[in-house]
Amino acid sequence: MIDRVVAKTDLIRSIDRLAHEQSVFAPVANGPQFSFKVISSAEEVAEGYLPTALPPSKHLLPPREALLRFAWHDELAVEPVIEATETVAFGLRPCDLHALELLDAIFVDDKDDGHYRARREAAFFVGIECLEPCDDHCFCESMGSLRADSGFDVLLTDLGDTYYVRVESTKGRDFVLAVDGAHEAVYEDRTRLRKAHEGRDAAFTPRLDVAMEHLPALLAESSDSLLWDVLGEKCLSCGACTNVCPTCYCFDVRDELNLDMKSGERVRTWDSCQLEEFAMVGTGESFRKPREMRVKHRFNRKGRYIFERYGRMGCVGCGRCARACLVDIDPVEVFNQLKGRPVER
Amino acid sequence: MVNTQTTPHGRLKQSPFLPDMAEIVRKERLNPTETLYVLRLTDGAELGHAPGQFVEVSVFGVGEAPFSISSSPTRGGEFELCIRRVGDVTTAMERLGIGAKLGVRGPLGRGFPLDVMRGNDVLIIAGGLGIVPLRSLIGTVIDERADFAEVTILYGCKSPAEMLFKDEIAAWEAREDIDFRVTTDIADPSWKGNVGPVTTLFRRLTVNPKTTVPVMVGPPVMFKHVVKQVLAVGIPEDRIILSLERRMKCGIGECGHCQINGVYVCQDGPVFTYAELKRLEEAML
């Protein structure tokens, strides 16, 4: 589709109009951090933000989500809960777009999970390119998720006073045509875009000592590494890393009764492979009891298991787990240490 | 079986979590903690399972849990679950009466490889509750007995009191075309049979490694020892069949609980060959 260019002030006015009409999610400042929230005006949108504390993918897989509704009246009645609100998600970073594409591959393409799919189909994604690294924890360049080529309706690139707008869907075209003064990108615009990309490519340097495509093999051959014991001693098993991870989607399923005791919901709630009960069976055996096994499991999921199953990396290099970790476990260090860098105990 | 619902706009909506409804046809207390439930889908359809598969059973308001199917698909419209009372769902099930409605999702997972067993000697090794899913296979083997060569069943329990399906066991023992042997870890005064782990029964067998397909279900400690024994007699790794128990929430490879390294027990199993599991350190074999 035809790329466009819009003035920043015009786009902001357009977002402002949209926010009055429908649900618009955007990153807003939240103390020292940032969160995706429904905004009521474009003024709230944070520019140049660090990755939000919780990734936008968690809005498609919320902490608590009703799957079924059941009630006993004359007879037991059970119905699925598939609900979604048309939503514009504004300002998604490439790392988050990559994470969302992985979740699509799992929940839509593989599982055909109607609960997720309904929300995904009702979502409109406005991506925004990163032109400089957000902090020392991000390593998107090494995980192949600095550049977004799909998974968005439109993708913005900051060119100073204007945004270059890449359009990938008909909904995206309608969105950009509704912005006052939107014009087709011409040669000069494309030159400025290329310059912006060149600046970006120079600003992001590789963080990993191992190429992404070799991570699965590295993890497979590191099964007996003593590093897991070191990490197992450090890790508090708090589950913060899985809570903030844009590609973590493991869940628990349980029933909640309403106060009338005659109706209720079956819900899925976030769960974490870092918690000891996660792999415990009814008769009490826990199949991943030692903490080092749980840490190893998480890193293998991120760098190996998900890739082996879905052909996409389970880690997008956003750095959220490292920012959230209370004992400074950072995947960049973990992968580099597996590759041979010295370990400080 | 995917349940679908059409929206007012005519769009198809699907929830992999919406169960079919079943009712309890019969209930039989087998011992202080185990109960046999005979269920029937309320729409009259057959469950259509293969031996070794499982279902997710819902007691609405309490929760959902996975159970292996204990009856043979050769036995018709009803299906049986043998359930130990250990948690919320199983305790709630015990309180339900005949005619009570349950949700059932499934059959789920990969069952025993009957095609590999047909024409070969079948060696079934059950430890404790492992007899529950194996009973489905034993029923099929008995009903289609001519398809299989020698059939041997070894069953080990902690104590004679924990032995399940005592009437059926007597019938298996009485058959001339099945070599059935049972043992118990601890004897009581009434016990006249073998005492010791199930491995002591195996030691007395003559096994033809070229034609035998061992199928085992039991606690992790049993797998450790029995796998060693069947390997020692020369049975190839890809013909040793095991079924694993893991925590499961979704049964469709989403929730992550049953994962062993990269493998989902609910989808890729619960039945595996030893060759598939031996490199997975979390399989605990």
Give me the DSSP letters along chain B.
--EEEE-TT--EEEETTPPEEEEEEEEEE-SSSEEEEEEEETT-------TT-EEEEEETTTEEEEEE--S-GGG-S-EEEEEE--SHHHHHHHH--TT-EEEEEEEESB---HHHHTTSEEEEEEEGGGHHHHHHHHHHHHHTGGG-S-EEEEEEESSGGG---HHHHHHHHH-TT-EEEEEESS--TT--SEES-HHHHHHT----TTTEEEEEES-HHHHHHHHHHHHHTT--GGG-EEE-----SSSSS-S-TTEETTEEHHHH-BEEEHHHHTT-GGG--
pLDDT-derived band at A345, boundaries 50, 70, 90 = low
Number of structural domains found in chain B: 2
Question: How confident is the model over A231-268, as pLDDT tens digits?
Answer: 999 999 999 999 999 999 999 999 999 999 999 999 99
Does B103 share its domain with B119? Answer: no
Does B237 share its domain with B215? Answer: yes
Does B183 share its domain with B249? Answer: yes
pLDDT of residue B210: 95
* A114 closest CB neighbour out of B13, B61, B101: B13
**Residue finishing a domain among B77, B108, B139:** B108
Which residue in chain A has the smallest CA separation from B257? Answer: A279
Residues of chain B positioned with their CB less than 8 A from the CB of A257: 61
Q: Which helix (H) or strand (E) holds A51?
A: none
Does B128 share its domain with B267? Answer: yes
Instruction: Report chain B's C-alpha Rg in angstroms.
Output: 19
Q: State the smallest CA–CA distance between residue B115 and chain A in angstroms.
A: 27
In angstroms, rounded to a whole number, what is the distance separating the alpha carbons of residues B51 and B96?
26
Does B166 share its domain with B248? Answer: yes
CB A114 to CB B249 under 8 A?
no
pLDDT-derived band at A78, boundaries 50, 70, 90 = very high
CATH of the domain at B158: 3.40.50.80
Does B223 share its domain with B83? Answer: no
pLDDT of residue B3: 41
* B86 closest CB neighbour out of A264, A279, A283: A283
**Residue finishing a domain among B92, B108, B124:** B108
Question: How confident is the model over A10-64, as pLDDT tens digits?
Answer: 999 999 999 999 999 999 999 989 999 999 999 999 977 789 999 999 999 999 9
CB B246 to CB A279 under 8 A?
yes
Does B224 share its domain with B247? Answer: yes
Residue from A68, A269, A81 nearest B249 by CA:
A269
Intervals of chain B under pLDDT 50 = 1-12
Provide the Cα torsion A179, A116, B253, A57; round to 10°.
Answer: 50
* A251 closest CB neighbour out of B13, B18, B249: B249
* DSSP for residue A343: P
Residues of chain A positioned with their CB less than 8 A from the CB of B249: 251-253, 268, 271
Per the prediction, chain B carries an average pLDDT of 91
Does B166 share its domain with B238? Answer: yes
Percent of chain A with pLDDT over 90: 90
In angstroms, rounded to a whole number, what is the distance separating the alpha carbons of residues A284 and B143?
35
Per the prediction, chain A carries an average pLDDT of 94
Interface pTM, i.e. ipTM = 0.89
Question: How confident is the model over A99-133, as pLDDT tens digits?
Answer: 999 999 999 999 999 999 999 999 999 999 999 99
Q: Judge contact between B226 and B198, C-beta under 8 A.
A: yes
Domain that holds residue B86: 3-108
pLDDT of residue B75: 86
The sign of the CA dihedral B42, B46, B52, B54 is: negative
Residues of chain B positioned with their CB less than 8 A from the CB of A299: none
pLDDT of residue B285: 65
Which residues face A164 on adjacent strands? A5, A157
CATH of the domain at B26: 2.40.30.10
Angle at B135 between CA B129 and CA B141, to 5 degrees: 150
B158 touches chain A (CB under 8 A): no
Does B126 share its domain with B225? Answer: yes
**Residue finishing a domain among B108, B141, B176:** B108
Does B243 share its domain with B227? Answer: yes
Does B92 share its domain with B122? Answer: no
Where does residue A237 fall: left (phi above 0), alpha (psi -120 to 50 degrees), or beta otherwise? left
Residues of chain A positioned with their CB less than 8 A from the CB of B260: 287
CB B257 to CB A249 under 8 A?
no
Over 90: is that where the pLDDT of A288 sits?
A: no
Does B121 share its domain with B202? Answer: yes
pLDDT of residue A114: 94
Residues of chain A positioned with their CB less than 8 A from the CB of B61: 70, 255, 257, 264
Residue linked to tokens 């956003």: A318
